Amino acid sequence: MLQPLNVLIVDDCPEDRLVYCRYLLQDEEYSYKIVEEESGEAALTLCQQSQPDVILLDFLLPFVIC
């Protein structure tokens, strides 16, 4: 079996993240280690720590000014 691909899902909608996970986990050819974040800022921090192979990103994430 191949080493799992590390996938980061960044979406502010929990239902959408669940749908992405369901589709990925149905794949019989590959395995995935999935991590999720709901904000872009938290996702950037996680990217620096885990260096995912793939990022699935919601293109309509809210923009937050600090």
Condensed to tens digits (0 to 9), the pLDDT of residues 32-43 reads: 999 999 988 889
- Answer yes or no: is pLDDT of 62 > 70: no
Q: Which of 29, 22, 26, 21 is nearest to 4 (CA)?
A: 29
> If pLDDT is split at 50, 70 and 90, which confidence band does 63 have?
low
Using CA atoms, how far apart are residues 9 and 34, in angstroms rounded to an integer? 7
- Answer yes or no: is pLDDT of 16 > 90: yes
Condensed to tens digits (0 to 9), the pLDDT of residues 17-60 reads: 999 999 999 998 899 999 999 988 889 999 998 899 999 998 77
Using CA atoms, how far apart are residues 13 and 39, in angstroms rounded to an integer? 10
